[in-house]
Amino acid sequence: MIRLIGVELRRLTWRRITAIGVIGVFLITAFMLFATWRESRPLSEAEQRAAQTQYEMAHRDWVANAERNEADCRANFDPSTSGGMSVDDVCKWSEPKREEFGKPQAVFRQIAPNMLQGSAYLLLFAAFLVGASFVAAEFSTGAIGNWLTFEPRRLRVYGSKMAAAGLWFVPLGIAVTGVLTLGIYLITARLGSTAGTDWSDIVGLIARVVTTTAIGAVIGGVVGLVLRHTAAALGLAMGYIVLVEGIFASFLQNAQPWLLVRNFDAFVLHDTRYVLNKCVTQADGNYVCNQIEKTLTFEHGAWYLGILTLVALLGAGLIFQRRDVN
């Protein structure tokens, strides 16, 4: 089995689409670092003076009018149009702060998780596409039939292909997330702040991104095996994103905890939050909608992705064992 996995790893390495995918991933990663650098640059002296002027004007207005504005707000407060918020929340007139004006400082611990989440989607897409092409090409060219004459035990062939797809993307995921994290750290150390960084959280996030990358390659291989065409696999993925995640999800709010993207975020980010709209007709006839924030836990996301991957592997293995390869 180890020998078969080694052969599959070499075949995957020398595929043209693999090279194109790797180059594309690193180019997009470089662009993400460039965008981070542009966003992290501090304001010019003229822009800083303008921000200071705006702050001073806002603060003078607050000193002169805050008490009167709050009193007027409380006098005109209508609970039926407040969306469930109290009078203290609606009529709170906070003092302006200097950091609220101008460009906020780039902070590594705030930027890195968002950028790594973006890289998780990038790596997932690349891994799915390469994994699907890797397996589907075997059927479209008829090479799988020749391979089975060399190794007739189908489950060994199937297992080696899935294992190779997942294992190949582990070092790529580590390299991409490592380059991205190092680049963001160097940029924010020069132009912003790296204070308060919890490296255990960053390392854990990188490990989860690498895990989902390997899962993406395996799922791509499964879909490629079932559909036998890379274009069909890509079409299925795009169709799911547009129809299920994009259209149906907006109508079926109670299904949010069972959507793939939502659970992906919960696993990668170690918990994620989403908002549900709860609308009711009040006794006075007013129709009011309130937003309720929910949390989808890391454990839910981990179990969801794990069970999905296991079911997909078992189902595809059964299909490959029983279906004619031609």
- Per-residue pLDDT, 284: 63
Q: Which two tokens stand for residue 245?
A: 């995640």
Output the average pLDDT for the chain. 85
For β-strands 272-281 and 287-296, DSSP reports them as: antiparallel
φ, ψ of residue 91 to 5 degrees: the values are: -100, 15
311-320: b or e for each residue (b if 16 or more CB lie within 10 Å)?
A: ebbeebbeeb
- Considering only CA atoms, which of 5, 281, 230, 274 is closest in space to residue 128? 230
- Per-residue pLDDT, 96: 73
pLDDT > 70 fraction of the chain, expressed in percent and rounded? 88
Report the alpha-carbon distance of residue 148 to residue 80 in Å, rounded.
71
**pLDDT tens figures, 197-220:** 889 999 999 999 999 999 999 999
pTM of the model: 0.83
236-275: b or e for each residue (b if 16 or more CB lie within 10 Å)?
A: ebeeeeeeeeeeebeeeeeebeebebbbbbbbbbbebebe
Report the alpha-carbon distance of residue 165 to residue 150 in Å, rounded.
20
Helix, strand, coil shares, percent, the chain, to 5: 75, 5, 15
- Per-residue pLDDT, 82: 62
* H or E stretch at 291: strand 287-296
- Considering only CA atoms, which of 162, 174, 38, 198 is closest in space to residue 119? 174
**pLDDT tens figures, 161-194:** 999 999 999 999 999 999 999 999 999 998 888 8
Report the alpha-carbon distance of residue 137 to residue 180 in Å, rounded.
32
**3-class DSSP state for residue 270?**
coil
- Per-residue pLDDT, 22: 94
**pLDDT tens figures, 8-53:** 888 888 889 999 999 999 999 999 999 999 888 876 666 667 666 7
